[in-house]
Amino acid sequence: MAEKISYLLIGGGLASACAAESIREHDQQGAIAIISSEAYFPYHRPPLSKSYLIEGDWEPADIYHHDEAWYAEHNVIFHGGVRATGLDLNGQTATLSSGASIEYDKLLLATGAGLIYLNVPGSDLEGLYYLRTIPDADALTKASESAKRVVVVGGGFIGLELASAFQQRDLEVLLVYMEDRLWERMLSPEISRWLEDHYRSKEITLISRAQVAEFRGQGQVDTVVLKSGDTLPVDMCALGIGVRPDLTLVKNTPLEGANGIPVNEYLETDVAGVYSAGDIAWYQDAIFNKRRRVEHFDTAKGHGEVAGANMAGERRPYRELPYFFSDLFDLEFEFVGDFDLKPDRVDFTGELSENTFIARYFQQNRIFAAVFVGREEEEIEAVKEEILEAQSQ
Ligand SMILES: Cc1cc2nc3c(=O)[nH]c(=O)nc-3n(C[C@H](O)[C@H](O)[C@H](O)COP(=O)(O)OP(=O)(O)OC[C@H]3O[C@@H](n4cnc5c(N)ncnc54)[C@H](O)[C@@H]3O)c2cc1C
């Protein structure tokens, strides 16, 4: 006989942890279970590419969202190291890698995003690292203790954060990326150039418009070969080339969307009683009036809170501007708005040369996004209001 649970949360990340908290605020009785393929309690990933990696002596519990005692105190069952392997949506039952099955009344799918791996000759060599989990960060920390020279692949936020962390661990860093300029998706050309100068001032070698053709070595990578034919000797290589939603669990069900699990602004799927939140959720953004997936901390948190409340009987819409932060050396970045759009005008407040500014992005005189470096909370809130107002017209 399958165990019966009121609220089954599949995925052991921030979105599920916040959903559990929110459900408990609204329903003190219903049984809640979290199923996580990771052995750790839900934790914060942002430090993994920042202080956790730079300092190298953090414990997993330092980044738990709730400590172990919280689960017992709030009567939330946590099944770690177990995967959900199958779903029977009509029978409201999930099957697990342990062989057990669980019946549920309400289901949350918060399985996050999975790493994209580079598949070129030599991809199976030792010394190539990716970063998503605590064990990944521990492996990177250990490898960087003996390495002198690292090639980081990827000019987006993970690549930039890895390059920053390794430089602060005193490694020689080469950053290889396909685009013309750094963080092309989020930054205007002027901001990219300024950031490139900052990275060069830290003696990081930037190699733009470059793609990896091959990794070479005898068991362990010792050379990165670029498509240009250039060869880069290395001790280790770290890749941050993106993530994608892993839809294996919902394959061939009505929950399988083109870019994640489709949900409305209440984070409900088309299947009654089934919700989705966080990196996997392809949600209806009521502000920009389009479907989107956001792979960032604040969205996972906000989605979890709203989905949890709605699972427990509330009817709350998720209406937030996409928001994201990143720390690169001493530069504290914050981003607000829709970065799928491209600006035809960028207005600056403050000075790039002083490492503190606000860049407002406009299209046809309508603000849709902004980049902040080293700015105060009140300023960010004020610009959010500007964007909300512009988008409501
Ligand atoms: C290194 C790193 C740095 C980051 N830095 C920032 C930052 O600076 N700012 C920012 O805004 N965001 C940052 N992020 C992004 C942020 O951490 C994610 O958006 C957030 O973790 C998403 O939470 P989630 O709960 O949706 O998914 P996840 O955190 O991916 O959690 C999903 C969990 O579900 C598990 N799972 C998957 N399939 C199954 C299954 N079938 N059965 C059971 N369990 C399953 C996964 O193993 C995982 O544990 C960073 C991410 C990483 C990796």
pLDDT 10s digits, 205-247: 999 999 999 999 999 999 999 999 999 999 999 999 999 998 9
Q: What is the pTM of this model?
A: 0.97
H-helix segments, 202-337: 297-311
For residue 22, which amino acid is it? S
Q: Which of 243, 273, 269 is nearest to 256 (CA)?
A: 269
Q: Whose CA is nearest to atom 4 of ligand 1?
A: 46
Whole-number Å distance between alpha carbons of 278 and 290 = 17
Dihedral-angle region of residue 275 (phi above 0 means left; psi in -120 to 50 means alpha; beta otherwise): beta
Q: Dig out the tokens for 193 from the structure.
A: 């150039």
- Residue in the block written with tokens 């409340």: 309
Domains observed in the chain? 3-114+244-311 (3.50.50.60), 117-239 (3.50.50.60), 330-392 (3.30.390.30)
Q: How far apart are CA 346 and CA 12, in angstroms?
A: 39
Contact 256, 247 (CB under 8 A): yes
Q: Is 1 a residue whose pLDDT tops 60?
A: no
User: Tokens 């009036």, residue?
Assistant: 289
Query: pLDDT (tens digit, 9 = 90+) per residue, 68-109?
Result: 999 999 999 999 999 999 999 999 999 999 999 999 999 999
Angstrom distance (rounded) from CA 304 to CA 359 = 30
d(CA 170, CA 154): 20
Q: What is the DSSP string of 285-335?
A: ETTTTEEE---SHHHHHHHHHHHHHHHTT---------EEEEEETTEEEEE
Question: Considering only CA atoms, which residue is closest to atom 26 of ligand 1?
Answer: 278
Asked if 64 and 36 count as a contact pair (C-beta separation under 8 A), the reply is no
Query: Alpha-carbon distance 138 to 173, whole Å?
Result: 19
Classified as helix, coil or strand, 78 is: strand
Place of tokens 């177990």: 82
Tell me the CA–centroid distance for residue 95 and ligand 1, in Å: 22
The predicted-structure confidence for 159-169, as pLDDT tens digits, reads as follows: 999 999 999 99
Pocket lined around ligand 1, Cβ cut-off 6 Å: 10-16, 35-38, 45-46, 48-49, 83-84, 110-113, 131-132, 158, 249, 278-279, 295-298, 300, 324-326
User: At 204, is the pLDDT very low, low, confident or very high (cuts 50, 70, 90)?
Assistant: very high
Phi, psi of 88 (to 5 degrees): -110, 100
pLDDT of res. 4: 87
Best mutation site among 16, 41, 45 for ligand 1, i.e. most ligand atoms within 8 A of its Cβ? 45
